[in-house]
Amino acid sequence: MPNDTPSPFIALRDITRVYGKGEAEVHALDGVSFEVKRGEFITIMGPSGSGKSTAMNVLGCLDSPTSGQYMFNGIEVARLDRDQRALLRRHYLGFIFQGYNLLPRTTALQNVELPLIYKGLGRAEREARAISALEKVGLTQRADHDPSELSGGQQQRVAIARALAGDPQVILADEPTGNLDTMRSVEIMELLQRLNRDEGLTIIMVTHEEDMAEYADRLIWMVDGKVEYDRKTTKGAA
Ligand code: ADP
C-alpha cells in the first residue's frame, strides 16, 4: 500500500448540492465528507435518490457543489476555471458507465483511440496506446470488431480500455456491471481489482449489487444525501 500523504489524494468536505429553489428545493447532497487515498478502491451504495450520481458528478468535475470543498491532489477544484476542470478530467480521470457508451459502427480500437485525439496525441502514439490498453483488458484479438459484434462484457472491457488509454489516476465507474449477468460481472470486477492492485489505479465505483461491492476495500453507504456509514469491506478488512 502507498504511504499516507499529508494531504489526502481526494477529499470531499461538507459538500452540498441543492437543486431548485424554495419549495422545490432538493438537497441531493447534504453535507457529504469523505477522503480517498491514492490506490484505494471504494464503492458507493445506497437507495435510489440517495445522491450517488450527484456525488459521482461532483467527483468527476461534471457538476459543481453548492457549498463545501472538493480537493483533488492538493488542488481545490472550485478554484479551477472550466478549461482547467476539463483538463483535470482529461488527464487524471477515466469514466466507465453502465451502458458502455461506445460509438456504434466504430471498431474497438477506434473507440479506445478517440479520447486520445482530444489529448492532442499523434496517430501512431494513439494507436500504440489503444493497443496497449486493449491488451490490459485482454481484447487485442477483438480490436477490429465493432460493438455490435461484441458481448456486453466485451463492450464493457473496451470501455475500460478507453478509460485506461488516457492514463488516468482515478477511475470513476457508475454501475459498471449493471447490464451484465453474474459471470460477466465477476469478470469485470476481477479486471477492475487487478487494475487497482497492479496499476495502482484509484477506483470509485457506484453499484447496487452487494456482491460487487465486496471487490472494493471500502464501502460508503449513502441515504438522503448523507453518508450513513463508511466502513471497510470484508476484503478491505482482511
Ligand atoms: P442516486 O444516484 O443515488 O439515485 P441522485 O444523485 O441521482 O441519486 O439524486 C439525488 C436527489 O437529487 C434525488 O432526489 C433526485 O431526484 C435529485 N436530483 C438529481 N438530479 C437532479 C436535477 N438535475 N434536478 C433536480 N433534482 C435532481
Helix (H, G, I), strand (E, B) or coil at 211: helix
CATH number at residue 101: 3.40.50.300
From residue 68, how far is each of 37, 184, 191 by CA, in Å?
19, 38, 34
pLDDT at 31 over 80: yes
Each residue of 149-198: pLDDT tens digit?
Answer: 999 999 999 999 999 999 999 999 999 999 999 999 999 999 999 999 99
Number of domains in the chain: 1
Taking residues 109-120, what's their average pLDDT? Answer: 91
Element at 205 (helix H, strand E) = strand 202-206
Does residue 50 form part of some domain?
Answer: yes
How far apart (Å, rounded) are the C-alpha atoms in residues 25 and 21?
Answer: 5
Chain segment 200-232, per-residue pLDDT in tens = 999 999 999 999 999 999 999 999 999 999 999
Residue 216 lies in a domain: yes
Q: Whose CA is nearest to atom 1 of ligand 1?
A: 49
Report if residue 49 sits inside a domain.
yes
Ligand 1 atom closest to Cα of residue 17? 12
Which one is predicted more confidently, 237 or 39?
39
131 belongs to a structural domain: yes
Q: Is residue 229 assigned to a domain?
A: yes
Structural domain harbouring 113: 10-237
Range of weakest confidence among 4-13, 69-78, 114-123, 150-159: 4-13
Residue 16 Cβ < 6 Å to ligand 1: no
Tell me the pTM.
0.94
Ligand 1 center to 50 CA (angstroms)? 8
**Residue 6 scores a pLDDT above 70:** no
Ligand 1 centroid vs 131 CA: distance in angstroms?
A: 37
Distance 198 CA to ligand 1 centre (A): 35
Residue 4 pLDDT level (bands cut at 50, 70, 90): low
Q: How confident is the model at residue 238 (pLDDT cuts 50, 70, 90)?
A: confident
> CA nearest 111: which of 161, 148, 65?
161
Mean pLDDT over 25-46 rounds to 97
For the segment 114-137, the average pLDDT, to the nearest whole number, is 93
52 CA from centroid of ligand 1 (Å) = 8
Q: What pLDDT does residue 7 have?
A: 76
CA torsion angle 107 149 159 217 (round to 10) = -150
User: For the chain, what is the largest distance between any 2 Cα atoms, rounded to a whole number of angstroms?
Assistant: 56
What the block records as the C-alpha cell of 187 is 469478470
Angstrom distance (rounded) from CA 197 to CA 206: 19
> What percentage of the chain exceeds 70 in pLDDT?
97
Helix H or strand E encompassing 10: strand 10-19
| Ligand 1 probe mutation, 16, 53, 59, 98, most atoms within 8 A of CB | 53
CB of 46 within 6 A of ligand 1: the answer is yes
Q: Mean per-residue pLDDT for 68-72? A: 97
Q: Is residue 46 part of a domain?
A: yes
Q: What is the mean pLDDT of the chain?
A: 94
| CB of residue 19 inside a 6 A radius of ligand 1 | yes
Ligand 1 contact via 118 beta carbon (within 6 Å): no
Confirm whether 39 is domain-assigned: yes
| φ and ψ at residue 88, rounded to 5 degrees | -60, -45
Ligand 1 within 6 A of CB of 179: no
Ligand 1 close to Cβ of residue 49 (< 6 A): yes
Residue 1 lies in a domain: no
